[in-house]
């Protein structure tokens, strides 16, 4: 396992290919690195290592869980728990799930494809994965194609590059062209794992492509934008002050990929299966991080209520109960997804589709409601809070502090710290990103509906009602 210092050294040795704010940047000062740092640090904390580390099924060695292929329901539960604990600390995405969710997907689908087509993707994947584990790498997932006209299939687009595709097959590899949108933390990943985003028809084999490429590979261009929490004076700073997150429009500008890094190339029916399975693993990850975000929002609401003297009011209690219901239903579904998981022929443990999708949908449709609950309890101050300079000012500071005071027992400095952080978290540029991520990250709510309806046994429910209504006879005598 690496330390964060080793990770930094690896990032800093990468070719600058990050296009942001009119500059071409290297990886020294990219927002979000502290979040990935935590994934390395937590692997060495005795209190957490039963969650944050795992045993490699290849070597039997101890590895960071973010490099692990799930082998059991317990692995899935540990991944969920690790995600909730770490996402709470950073107040949002822990940044390392996307890559390992994509690799778990490849571990299943490459095997299935080999069985069906006699290809050699699975052994190739295993070699890749052993190296990934040995070097404790950070991966990201480039799944979401830019998609052009939403109602046109990849083969129907005016520009065929609007979905990532193979433009040339060579003896030693393939050339790919296209772009993937919204890739979280891609500039902080050493490996980009690109997989298809949708079901493909037989004539759409060119778009059935899955590869892993280094983040600074020739032809890879990361067009990025980020959001940061506001900087605060040190004496009023939060844990998050000045920190941030980043996404990338990842462009594959005729990128050559050697065969040993190609995990699907032309087998159209497995493109869709890959897309669906990544969504499933990722929605299982969400059963950890979404409750973590609810934890943070409800903690803020409860603390504001306490600092304002309204914590015992009935309407506050019922709002807090709503937070708890969202967080723990999503979390409980994640546990159920692990308990009802399936071992695939490749050996990978795959969580239950319905539980994970129900969880992700419930979290997604509630995210703005949760912010609404916080907003109602917080009042208007997150939107109008005076700056820290005025709070500390020799001229007006005393007056500002006098008029921001709430209950007797809490210092006005703590009131300010709390409201300043709530302002950042719920009323700022980065808050807007968190809200959009809450709805669309991991797939828009309609995608969860599609996955649920595809899998759910509705016929069984209709048969049940036929039996109750007397249309059919019960299988057993129930009196
Ligand atoms: C902060 C953030 C981080 C993300 N991180 C990643 C990441 O790391 N990796 C990654 O691969 N992706 C990532 N995503 C992408 C995410 O999965 C997508 O945003 C999501 O799948 C929706 O795709 P879209 O943004 O292109 O929206 P669209 O697909 O344009 O959806 C917008 C609306 O159009 C509707 N629509 C789209 N197509 C159709 C159709 N054919 N018929 C009817 N209605 C349609 C949708 O239902 C939706 O209501 C991230 C997204 C966000 C916001």
Q: Looking at ligand 1, which atom is closest to the CA of residue 197? A: 11
Using the mean position of ligand 1's atoms as its centre, give its distance from the Cα of residue 356 in Å.
Answer: 18
Q: Looking at ligand 1, which residue's alpha carbon is closest to its atom 51?
A: 441
Ligand 1 atom index nearest CA of 151: 41
If DSSP codes are grouped into helix, strand and coil, which group holds residue 402?
helix
* CA dist 178 → 142, 146, 246 (Å): 11, 8, 20
Ligand 1 centroid – CA 177 distance (Å): 20
Q: Which DSSP state fits 145?
A: B
Q: Best mutation site among 149, 194, 444 for ligand 1, i.e. most ligand atoms within 8 A of its Cβ?
A: 444
**8 Å CB contact between 285 and 338:** no
Token duo for residue 81? 């728990």
Write out residues in the chain with pLDDT < 50, as ranges.
none
Closest Cα to atom 44, ligand 1: which residue? Answer: 150
What is the Cα–Cα distance from 277 to 52, expressed in whole angstroms? 23
Does residue 95 sit in helix, strand or coil? Answer: coil
Q: Taking the domains of the chain in order of start, what are their residue ranges?
A: 4-267, 273-463
| CATH level 3 topology of 273-463 | Butyryl-CoA Dehydrogenase, subunit A; domain 3 (1.20.140)
Long-range contacts of 432-439 (CB under 8 A, 24+ apart): 432/227, 433/227, 433/245, 434/92, 434/293, 435/367, 435/368, 435/371, 437/92, 437/93, 437/184, 438/290, 438/293, 438/363, 438/364, 438/367, 438/368, 439/364, 439/367, 439/368
Give the side-chain half-sphere CA count within 13 A for 354: 8
Q: Are strands 220-228 and 18-20 parallel, antiparallel or unpaired?
A: parallel
**Span 4-267 CATH architecture:** Beta Barrel (2.40)
Mutation to probe ligand 1, out of 440, 447, 448 (largest number of atoms < 8 A from CB): 440
Residue nearest to atom 1 of ligand 1 (CA): 437
- How much is the pLDDT for 479? 63
Taking the centre of ligand 1 as the mean of its atom positions, its distance from the CA of residue 442, in whole angstroms, is: 8
Q: Which helix (H) or strand (E) holds 64?
A: strand 62-64
For ligand 1, atom 50, which residue shows the shortest CA distance? 441
What's the residue count for the chain? Answer: 479
* Distance of CA 74 from the midpoint of ligand 1 (Å): 31
**Residue of the nearest CA to atom 36 in ligand 1?**
150
Atom of ligand 1 nearest to the CA of 433: 1
pLDDT of the residue at 474: 86
Cα→Cα distances 66→54, 251, 270, 364, Å: 9, 25, 25, 24
Q: Ligand 1 pocket test: pick from 144, 156, 195, 367 the residue with the most ligand atoms within 8 Å of its Cβ.
A: 144
User: Do 373 and 362 meet the contact criterion of CB atoms below 8 Å apart?
Assistant: no
Distance, in Å, from the CA atom of 311 to the CA atom of 302, rounded to the nearest integer, reads: 7
CA of 447 to the centre of ligand 1 (A): 9
Q: CA–CA distance from 170 to each of 148, 165, 257 (Å)?
A: 28, 14, 10
Take atom 31 of ligand 1 and give the residue whose Cα is closest: 444
Provide residues with CB under 6 Å of ligand 1.
Answer: 98, 140-144, 147, 150-151, 180-184, 247, 433, 436-437, 440-444, 446
List the residue whose alpha carbon is closest to atom 45 of ligand 1: 150
């Amino acid at each position: 396992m690496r330390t964060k210092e080793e990770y930094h050294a690896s990032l800093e040795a990468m070719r600058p290919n990050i296009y942001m704010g009119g500059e071409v940047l290297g990886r020294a000062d990219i927002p979000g690195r502290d979040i990935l740092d935590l994934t390395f640090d937590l692997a060495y904390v005795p209190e957490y290592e039963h969650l944050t580390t795992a045993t490699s099924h290849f070597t039997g060695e101890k590895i960071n869980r973010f490099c692990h292929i799930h082998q059991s329901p317990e692995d899935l539960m540990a991944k969920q728990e690790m995600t909730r604990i770490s996402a709470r600390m950073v107040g949002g995405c822990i940044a390392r799930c996307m890559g390992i969710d994509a690799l778990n997907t490849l571990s299943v689908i490459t095997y299935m494809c080999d069985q069906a087509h006699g290809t050699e993707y699975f052994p190739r994947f295993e070699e890749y994965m052993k190296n990934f584990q040995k070097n404790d790498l950070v991966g990201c997932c480039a799944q979401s194609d830019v998609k052009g006209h939403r109602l046109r299939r990849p083969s129907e687009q005016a520009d065929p590059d609007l979905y990532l595709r193979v433009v040339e097959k060579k003896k030693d590899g393939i050339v790919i062209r296209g772009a993937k949108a919204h890739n979280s933390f891609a500039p902080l990943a050493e490996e980009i794992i690109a997989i298809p985003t949708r079901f493909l028809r037989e004539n759409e084999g060119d778009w059935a492509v899955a590869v892993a490429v280094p983040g600074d590979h020739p032809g890879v261009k990361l067009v990025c934008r980020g959001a940061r929490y506001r900087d605060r004076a040190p004496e009023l700073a939060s844990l998050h002050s000045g920190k941030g997150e980043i996404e990338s429009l990842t462009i594959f500008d005729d990128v050559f990929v050697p065969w040993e890094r190609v995990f699907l190339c032309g087998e159209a029916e497995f493109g869709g299966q890959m897309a669906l399975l990544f969504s499933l693993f990722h929605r299982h990850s969400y059963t950890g991080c979404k409750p973590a975000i609810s934890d943070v929002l409800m903690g803020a609401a409860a603390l504001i209520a306490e600092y304002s003297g309204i914590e015992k009011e009935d309407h506050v209690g019922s709002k807090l109960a709503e937070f708890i219901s969202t967080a723990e239903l999503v979390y409980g579904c994640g546990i159920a997804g692990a308990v009802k998981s399936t071992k695939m022929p490749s050996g990978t443990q795959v969580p239950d589709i319905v539980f994970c999708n129900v969880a992700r949908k419930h979290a997604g449709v509630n995210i703005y409601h949760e912010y609404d609950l916080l907003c109602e309890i917080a009042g208007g101050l997150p939107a109008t809070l005076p700056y820290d300079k005025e709070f500390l000012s020799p001229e007006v500071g005393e007056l500002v502090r006098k008029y921001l005071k709430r209950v007797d027992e809490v210092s006005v400095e703590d009131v300010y710290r709390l409201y300043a952080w709530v302002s950042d978290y719920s009323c700022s540029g980065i808050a807007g990103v968190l809200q959009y991520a809450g709805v669309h990250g991991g797939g828009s709510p309609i995608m969860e509906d599609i996955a649920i309806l595809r899998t759910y046994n509705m016929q069984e429910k209709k048969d049940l009602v036929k039996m109750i209504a007397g249309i059919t006879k019960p299988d057993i005598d129930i009196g």
